[in-house]
């Protein structure tokens, strides 16, 4: 068994794809429209879906926004340098909501950014 993908519902598919590609460096693997169901799926990630987990963005054509639940936490992404990643994301217009630095009660360096729909993305230093 292995984890295949995580799905997020998004309100503006093009804006979300641009965020994950331009700010977080993901590659768009595939995008499929389902006219009879009035939705589009886009799968992005950092490698071949046969070997790595993907992010599935679901765009429901007739839904303009979603309420954030309090059960979902965040998606975590490993980066070589959290400080530099935050600088790059901010320079490209991204929102850093927790500046890079050691986590409270520990030494792991992390930061948090928000995607266009408000989902939290944790950046973790892998160095």
Check 49, 56, 95, 122 and give the catalytic one: 122
Q: Residue 42 to residues 6, 97, 106, 108: CA-CA distances in angstroms?
A: 11, 26, 36, 32
Query: What value does the mean pLDDT of the chain take?
Result: 95
**CB distance 123 to 100 below 8 Å:** yes
Q: Are residues 79 and 32 in the same domain?
A: no
Query: Stretch 13-35: mean pLDDT, rounded?
Result: 97
Which of the 8 DSSP states describes residue 68?
P
Angle at 119 between CA 28 and CA 32, to 5 degrees: 30
Select from 101, 119, 104, 127 the least CA-distant residue to 24: 119
Q: Does residue 20 form part of some domain? A: yes
Query: Stretch 52-56: mean pLDDT, rounded?
Result: 97
Tokens for 69, please give them.
């639940």
pLDDT digits (tens, 9 = 90+) for 77-96: 999 999 999 999 999 999 99
**CB distance 26 to 74 below 8 Å:** no
Instruction: Tell me if residue 87 is catalytic.
Output: no
* Residues whose CB falls within 8 Å of the CB of residue 61, separated by 6 or more in sequence, listed in order: 38, 39, 40
pLDDT at 68 over 90: no
Containing structural domain, residue 40: 5-60
pLDDT digits (tens, 9 = 90+) for 70-81: 889 999 999 999
pLDDT at 127 over 80: no
Give how many domains the chain has, as a whole number: 2
Q: Are residues 82 and 105 in the same domain?
A: yes
Q: Are residues 17 and 48 in the same domain?
A: yes
Indicate which CATH number applies to the domain containing 11.
3.10.180.10
Q: What's the confidence (pLDDT) of residue 107? A: 87
Q: Does residue 35 form part of some domain? A: yes
User: What pTM was estimated for this model as a whole?
Assistant: 0.91
């Amino acid at each position: 068994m292995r984890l295949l993908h995580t799905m997020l519902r998004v309100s503006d598919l093009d804006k979300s794809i641009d965020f994950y590609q331009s700010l977080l460096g993901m590659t768009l693997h595939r995008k499929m429209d389902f006219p009879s169901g009035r939705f589009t799926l886009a799968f992005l990630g950092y490698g071949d879906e046969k070997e790595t987990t993907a992010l599935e963005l679901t765009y429901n054509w007739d839904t303009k926004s979603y309420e954030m639940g309090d059960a979902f936490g965040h998606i975590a992404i490993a980066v070589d340098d959290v400080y530099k990643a935050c600088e790059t994301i901010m320079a490209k217009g991204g929102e850093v909501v927790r500046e890079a630095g050691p986590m409270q009660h520990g030494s792991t360096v992390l930061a948090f950014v928000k995607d266009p729909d408000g989902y939290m993305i944790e950046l973790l230093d892998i160095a």
